[in-house]
Amino acid sequence: MKVGILAGGIGSRLAEETVIKPKPMVEIGGRPILWHIMMHYSTYGHKEFVVALGYKGEYIKRYMADYCSLSSDLRISLKDGHIQPHHNGNGNSTREDWEVDLIDTGLPTNTGGRIKRLKPYMGNSTFMLTWGDGVSNINLNELLKFHRSHGKLATVTAVRPPARYGRLEIESNKVTRFDEKPLEGEAWINGAFFVLEPAIFDYIEGDATQFEHEPLENLARDGELMAFQHHGFWQCMDTIREKTRLEHLWESGDAPWKVWR
C-alpha cells in the first residue's frame, strides 16, 4: 500500500533549524524525523512512499539521492568517479528496500492542495497518509483493519497529546489531584496517520484548500470520516521543546515509536 507523506511546510516554530532545512529533515538521534516515520511504515510492510515537497524540497531530494552512499561503506575510484557500496558482510551497508517518489507540490500550496497533487502517483486504491513531522507507536495493521471494517472513505487517527501544562483537579477550592504535564490531554485531536480511499480527492478543490478544514469537515458531514482512537504514544515536532523531548527519549534508549529492530 502506498504511503503519502506531506513534507512541504515551512516549520516556522522551528526556525532555529528550518532556516537551512525543511522540518521533516530536522534530526532525532542523527536521523531526519522523516526517516523515523518511513521506518515505522516499512516495519509494517508499507514501503512505497510518495513525498509531497515544498519548502526546501531540494534538501530532501539530495538526502534521498545520497542515502545509499551515506549509509554504506564505499569503494571509490578516483580515476573514473565510480562509487560502489561494499556488500561483503564486513562493512556497514544499510539499504532499505523502499521506493520513493519525490513530488514538488509548490511552496505556497496548502495541505489539501499537496494531497491533490499526489493523486497521479497514488493509484486507484486505498492509501495511507501522514504528516512529515510526527511519530507514534500506532499499530498500522490495526489501523488498516479498522478502516476496512467500516467501509467509509476516510479514517483519521485520534490521539490525546501530552499536556503542555500541569493539570489540577479542584473540589471546593481544594486541589484533589495534581499532575505535572500528564501524558494525555483532555480532548481527542487529529493525529494524522490517515487511511483514505481515492474518492477523497473529490473533496479537495485545489492548492488553496487546507485538508483539515473543508475536506475533513465535509467528509464528517457526509458520514464518511471515522476515527481510530490511539491510546499509545504520539508526538508531533512543532517546537524546539518537542524536538528536545523526542531527542531525550531516543537517547534514553526508550523511544516508544521505535517499533523496528
- Supply angle C-alpha 25, 30, 36, rounded to 5: 60
What backbone phi and psi angles, to 5 degrees, belong to 73? -75, 145
pLDDT on residue 12: 84
Q: Decide if 197 contacts 153 (C-beta within 8 A).
A: yes
Strand locations in 162-247, DSSP E? Answer: 167-171, 174-179, 189-190, 194-196, 225-229, 234-236
Alpha-helical (H) ranges within 83-169 are 111-117, 119-122, 140-150
Coil, helix or strand for 101?
Answer: strand
pLDDT on residue 183: 56
Output the tens digit of pLDDT for each of the chain's 261 residues: 999 999 998 888 888 888 999 999 999 999 999 999 999 999 999 999 999 999 999 999 999 988 877 777 878 888 887 877 776 554 455 568 899 999 999 999 999 999 999 999 999 999 999 999 999 999 999 999 999 999 999 999 999 876 665 555 656 655 456 565 555 556 788 999 999 999 999 999 999 999 999 999 999 999 999 999 999 999 999 999 999 999 999 999 999 999 998
The Cα diameter of the chain in Å comes to 81
pLDDT on residue 67: 85
State the CATH class of domain 2-251. Answer: alpha beta
Dist. CA 211–CA 165, nearest whole Å: 29
Q: Name the helix (H) or strand (E) containing 16.
A: helix 15-18
Q: Domain limits of the chain?
A: 2-251
Dist. CA 101–CA 90, nearest whole Å: 31
- Which residue in the block uniquely carries the three cell numbers 478544514? 213
Dist. CA 243–CA 134, nearest whole Å: 10
What's the burial of 195, exposed, middle or buried (CB within 10 Å: 0-12/13-18/19+)? buried
pLDDT on residue 164: 62
pLDDT on residue 175: 44
